[in-house]
Amino acid sequence: MATETTRDFEALEKQTQTIMSVFTKAGYEAVAPTILQPADVFLDVIGESLRARTYVFTDPDGAELCLRPDLTVPTCRLHLARHADPATPARYSYSGAAFRFQPQGADAAHPREFRQAGIERFGDTERETAEAEIVATVIRAIEKAGLKDWSLRLGDLGLFSSILDVAGLSPRWKKRLDDAFLRPLAFRESLKAFAAGAEAARLPVPDALLSSLKRADMAASEAAIAAYLDEKSIELIGTRTLSDITEHLIDIAEGREEKPLDPAAADLIGRYVGITAPARMAGAKIAELVNGAPAGSAAALESYDRRVALLANAGIDLERVTFAAEFGRTMAYYTGLVFEVRVKTLGPQSPVATGGRYDALMRAAGASVDVPAVGAAIHTERLLAAIRGASS
């Protein structure tokens, strides 16, 4: 912060020490990943939308670098550099600066430069236990720092997947809805279009050619596409190969054979997405929704209930915890549990801490396999503002 006073600086330092001592006592080794990160690895992981908010630049050697927009990806990279086997269990904690361009202009709650203090836990296969401990550790750190009045909001991106299973969707529908779920604006529209069977025949390929393609005989299918391109004098250019294109055409051909999305399934999905309830009741609400459905949903629901019970065991006051099915949809790279800690004075746009499960991130950062990973970060300036706001 350009306008930071010595008093602010010292208060933040003191708060950070408090937070870090909670983290290290809980067994999270303190690490300091580098601030400068290679842009390509980082941007590939976080996607183009956060890239618009990342400070990217070229150094005098021509290498593309960025100022880290968060510390989770750098911590994954640090873990990969340390361990040949990315699934090696490890617990890390950190505190350091992160940088984000603020397109609407920076303000106190949305600074361009801020300090994150967080924890990450890799390779732990006791999923719900690890998740509940992460949440509890962050809450403990926040309370130790002096915040009394907080509320916790939970979401679960994994539950949506199981709802899709319950709805009895084909793999292709499931994949498309799963993707669409992460894009709330497009979601309702897609849901409607899918249910109406409104997948227009709009490709430049003749239907006869499309329906002649067979997955069982890729060589012949590719040859047919090559002949078609040849006949139309279309040159094969670019990175995508003939087999890339043919395979996608086969996906499309198979998709066309399918019935449109069952309206009952669309309705179920729409009702699930609308659920917001106290964490204690949400399990029952979802159970009611999927009542009589195939067994696939049971595991995910059990996992939800177990997590809530573990949170209560860890001393989290469930009265303060809400579940919202839609929550987490727009957050980058999460795959399961998502949560945020809110305070009334700062409002819903400025959570003091966020976190969740992100099992696919390690692979995106260069690992050969998915690695169970869950973590959380505290926005330390906001936390300080919230504590000061409450005491003034």
Of the pair 52, 264, the CB lying nearest other proteins is at 52
Of the pair 176, 342, the CB lying nearest other proteins is at 176
Residues near other proteins (CB under 8 A) are: 43-44, 47-49, 51-52, 103, 176, 179-180, 183, 185-186, 202-205, 225, 228-229, 234-240, 244-245, 247-249, 251-252
Of the pair 43, 337, the CB lying nearest other proteins is at 43
- Minimum CB separation of residue 39 from other proteins in Å reads 10
Of the pair 323, 333, the CB lying nearest other proteins is at 333
- Minimum CB separation of residue 168 from other proteins in Å reads 22
- Minimum CB separation of residue 356 from other proteins in Å reads 18
Give Cβ neighbours of residue 9 (< 8 Å, ≥ 6 apart).
Answer: none
Give Cβ neighbours of residue 115 (< 8 Å, ≥ 6 apart).
Answer: 12, 16, 95, 96, 97, 98, 380, 381
- Minimum CB separation of residue 225 from other proteins in Å reads 7
Measured distance CA(36)–CA(41) in Å, rounded? 12
Measured distance CA(384)–CA(145) in Å, rounded? 8
Of the pair 135, 180, the CB lying nearest other proteins is at 180
- Minimum CB separation of residue 252 from other proteins in Å reads 6
> What is residue 38's three-state secondary structure?
strand
Give Cβ neighbours of residue 282 (< 8 Å, ≥ 6 apart).
Answer: 275, 304, 323
Q: Which pair of structure tokens corresponds to residue 311?
A: 């949170």
Of the pair 247, 326, the CB lying nearest other proteins is at 247
- Minimum CB separation of residue 177 from other proteins in Å reads 13
Measured distance CA(129)–CA(145) in Å, rounded? 24
Q: Which pair of structure tokens corresponds to residue 253?
A: 């051909």
Please report, for residues 110, 142, 253, 318, 320, the alpha-carbon distance to residue 215 in angstroms, rounded to integers and kept in the order given: 51, 55, 10, 51, 52
Measured distance CA(38)–CA(366) in Å, rounded? 13
